[in-house]
Structure 1
Amino acid sequence: MTHPVMLVGTDAITASRFAPAIVRGQQIMIQCPSFCTVDHVTDSTGHIEDIWHASDSVDLNVPRLGRQPELMAFAKIQLDGYSSDPAKRTPFINVEDSSADGFDMAPAQALVYADNLEAFAARIRAMARTAAAVAR
């Protein structure tokens, strides 16, 4: 049985759709941001406040000498409409690696981080060219 529509985190959602969710064993419909790929039925919860939204991850895999590439980090968009942290009630970027809790960034901070990654990548390219030239 589907219960009346309940809106979760609607103040932060501009482009959205309605999606089913299971809360305390009951199916409800929630407003879900367009980026969200969480299956709120499979990821059921006991409290509506525990519903959160996330996009698919973007992975950074690192090649290894003589080994298979390994996941170094991943990033995703998240939104927690009932978070005690007001900054998490709007979409934010989360970057995680296997050793940390993750780094949460506002969109403007994520743009600065992306610029830093581009600069880092340029320095790695220069180092690779130097190493390749010396190896000849």
Structure 2
Amino acid sequence: MSILPDFLPMAPRPAKLQAVPSQPTAADRSAAADTATPVRLVPAVVGMKGRTQRIFIECPEWCTVDHSTGNVQLEDITHYSFGDVVQVPTFFSADTSHTDLSLSISSDPTSSDPRCREAHLLVDTCTDEEARLTPEMAEGLADDLIAFASQLRHKARQVAAFNRKQARR
């Protein structure tokens, strides 16, 4: 017997908890973001030195480049976000890292490669070439990095335990 009055509608109760619902994919999140991403018009200086013009261009919300500071051709304007960096240290050199890994968003609206015209992720290891990732590729890499980080922590704890044991001898 319910203690609620009969005039209050009640949703049917599920017989048992269902499985965890499927999570949205990168494409689902991108589609949702499309409707929420406003277009910004920002100033840009284009042309050769002494013969420049100030124009307004569409710029993604994540772009942190000040397009009004450089004298570039319109086709040279590229959008970049701030970079996130992780450094791999080494005990052989406390002042510098062994490897830097940086991540940013990029879009080159006039690229001859349609994949570069779309927003994509850049992963750079300070080598000659960056890795360019689609959102789906980045999701897969993120899964791999999470697994890698877990193994890194596990092995660090193994080494610490081994070193403690060795120190007691």
The bucket for the TM-score relative to the shorter chain is: 0.7 to 0.9
Deviates more, 1:64-73 or 1:121-130: 64-73
One-letter amino acid of the counterpart of residue 159, structure 2: A
TM-score of the pair, normalised by structure 1: 0.84
One-letter amino acid of the counterpart of residue 100, structure 2: M
Q: Deviations over 1:43-77 (max 9, x none)?
A: 330x2111110100000122321503525110100
Percent identical across equivalent pairs? 37
Greater RCO, 1 or 2 (C-alpha within 8 Å, sep 6+): 1
Question: Does 1:135 pair with 2:150?
Answer: no
Distance 1:85 1:94 in 2: 15
Distance 2:96 2:160 in 1: 20
- For residue 87 of structure 1, give the secondary structure of its aligned residue in structure 2: helix
Structure 2 unaligned spans of 5+: 1-33, 165-169
Q: Deviations over 1:90-122 (max 9, x none)?
A: 110000012241000011111111111111111
Distance 1:69 1:118 in 2: 25
Specify the alignment match of 1:52 in structure 2. 78
Specify the alignment match of 1:20 in structure 2. 43
Instruction: Answer whether contact 2:46 2:70 (CA < 8 A) is retained.
Output: no
Equivalent pairs counted in the alignment come to: 124
Specify the alignment match of 2:12 in structure 1. none
Structure 1 unaligned spans of 5+: 1-11
Specify the alignment match of 2:58 in structure 1. 31
Larger radius of gyration: 2
Distance 1:44 1:37 in 2: 17
One-letter amino acid of the counterpart of residue 56, structure 2: M
CA 44–111 in structure 1, closer or farther in 2 if over 3 Å, else same:
farther
Higher strand share: 1
Deviates more, 1:75-84 or 1:35-44: 35-44
Instruction: Answer whether contact 2:38 2:61 (CA < 8 A) is retained.
Output: yes
TM-score of the pair, normalised by structure 2: 0.68
- For residue 99 of structure 1, give the secondary structure of its aligned residue in structure 2: coil
Specify the alignment match of 2:90 in structure 1. 64
Distance 2:83 2:39 in 1: 19
Runs of 4+ aligned structure 1 residues displaced above 6 Å come to none
One-letter amino acid of the counterpart of residue 57, structure 1: G
**C-alpha RMSD over aligned residues:** 1.8
Q: Deviations over 1:13-60 (max 9, x none)?
A: x43211110111111111100000011112330x21111101000001
